[in-house]
């Protein structure tokens, strides 16, 4: 049936030529069109930079203040690294023009008051190993080398050779946080890193809400939800996807991360009401996640649990089940 329809359409195109519009459209000046494209790209990347700066600042706080609860840690000096590959293929040329992205990893931005700023790193610097080769600071081997020597190379345009610098790094949870160009209101964790979309950055208007999102994704990684989900899926013969309890756990543990990072808990649960309002399907039915009313109420209850601990001076650590098999976590 479909084949027949396609055939008929194809035949009519051949017989009668391509369909066209019936009205006289405005003629556009090519130079103005190019200018407008460049302006829109500049604004898009300027918005991206603002979001990247905010995401780095908020995540740095969450990752640093919870380092003692993270088995996997890394050394942070306060730089965001990028390369043309950090951007979707169709935006790479624009990222080169507007953000100075290179084919090799280089510094996109340096956090204010960070170790990197004090050591003299600026945007555009290329981070190198001791041989002068460009590297990403977050590579495992580079981190290990840096932890041993405290030295990291910097290559700057115009320098005859790279200089070795000694920033005073600090320990953070070892899950880098990326920003992805996408209008979808989404964030995810893959066990190694965390990704937040530009759509989510806009939706999570307050820093507390963004920290809630980062804390939730961090909890997925620290609680090893990805390998646990895969194991459950294999054990059930691909019949059952048991992700909902893990989502609830990420909400619960994530709230502790938020509180430990010093963010205000009051009213942060409204995030889930706003999300339910813009995406009503998630109020009543969700295959992989708890529904939004359930998430709001659980988060409010967790905030009360944490506030009680803060008042009584108890340590801010999540309540574990007595029979929880914690060897799983190792």
* Of residues 76 and 247, the one with the C-beta less far from Zn ion: 247
Stretch that binds Zn ion, among 226-234, 242-250, 260-268, 311-319 (CB under 5 A): 242-250
- Contacts with Zn ion, 289-328, as mask; x by CB under 5 A: ----------------------------------------
* Of residues 247 and 269, the one with the C-beta less far from Zn ion: 247
* Of residues 250 and 303, the one with the C-beta less far from Zn ion: 250
* Of residues 220 and 300, the one with the C-beta less far from Zn ion: 220
Q: Which two tokens stand for residue 53?
A: 């700066």
Stretch that binds Zn ion, among 34-42, 240-248, 301-309, 311-319 (CB under 5 A): 240-248
Tell me how far, at minimum, the Cβ of 275 lies from Zn ion, in Å.
13
From residue 28, give the alpha-carbon distance in Å to each of 24, 31, 34, 42, 237.
12, 9, 11, 21, 59
* Of residues 109 and 187, the one with the C-beta less far from Zn ion: 187
CA distance 80 to 107: 6
Nearest CA to 150 out of 135, 163, 169, 132 is that of 169
* Of residues 94 and 189, the one with the C-beta less far from Zn ion: 189
Vertex 293: Cα angle to 192 and 195 (nearest 5): 20
Angle between helices 207-222 and 30-65 (to 10 degrees): 60
CA distance 199 to 210: 12
- Contacts with Zn ion, 111-150, as mask; x by CB under 5 A: ----------------------------------------
Span 247-276, contacts to Zn ion by CB under 5 A? 247, 250
- Contacts with Zn ion, 77-96, as mask; x by CB under 5 A: --------------------
DSSP string, 150-209: --EEEE-TT-SSPEEE----EEEES--EEEE--SS--EEE-SS-EEEEHHHHHHS-SHHH
Helix (H) or strand (E) holding 74: strand 73-76
Q: Residue 109 forms beta bridges with which residues?
A: 80
Tell me how far, at minimum, the Cβ of 249 lies from Zn ion, in Å.
9
Q: List residues near Zn ion by CB under 5 A.
A: 247, 250
């Amino acid at each position: 049936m479909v084949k027949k329809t396609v055939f008929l359409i194809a035949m009519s195109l051949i017989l009668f030529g391509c369909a066209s519009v019936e009205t006289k459209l405005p003629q556009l000046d090519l130079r103005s069109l190019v200018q407008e494209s460049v302006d829109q790209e500049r604004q898009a990347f300027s918005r991206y930079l603002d979001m990247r700066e905010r995401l780095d600042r908020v995540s740095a706080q969450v990752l640093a203040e919870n380092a003692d609860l993270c088995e996997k840690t890394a050394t942070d000096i306060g730089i965001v690294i990028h390369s043309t590959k950090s951007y979707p293929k169709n935006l790479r040329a624009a990222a080169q023009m507007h953000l100075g992205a290179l084919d090799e990893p280089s510094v996109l931005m340096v956090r204010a008051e960070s170790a990197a700023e004090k050591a003299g790193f600026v945007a555009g610097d290329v981070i190198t190993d001791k041989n002068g080769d460009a590297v990403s600071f977050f590579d495992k081997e580079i981190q290990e080398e840096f932890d041993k020597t405290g030295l990291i190379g910097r290559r700057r345009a115009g320098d005859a050779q790279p200089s070795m610098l000694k920033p005073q790094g600090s320990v953070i949870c070892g899950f880098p946080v990326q920003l992805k160009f996408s209008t979808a209101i989404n964030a995810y964790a893959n066990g190694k890193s965390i990704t937040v979309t530009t759509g989510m950055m806009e939706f999570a208007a307050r820093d507390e809400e963004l920290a809630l999102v980062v804390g939730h994704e961090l909890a997925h990684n620290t609680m090893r939800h990805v390998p646990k989900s895969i194991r459950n899926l294999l054990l059930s013969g691909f019949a059952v996807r048991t992700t909902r309890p893990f989502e609830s756990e990420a909400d619960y543990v994530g709230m502790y991360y938020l509180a430990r990072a010093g963010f205000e808990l009051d009213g942060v649960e409204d995030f889930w009401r706003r999300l339910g309002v813009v995406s009503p399907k998630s109020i009543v039915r969700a295959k992989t996640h708890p529904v939004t009313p359930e998430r709001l109420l659980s988060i409010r209850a967790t905030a009360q649990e944490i506030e009680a601990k803060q008042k009584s001076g108890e340590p801010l650590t999540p309540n574990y089940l007595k029979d929880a098999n914690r060897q799983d976590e190792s």
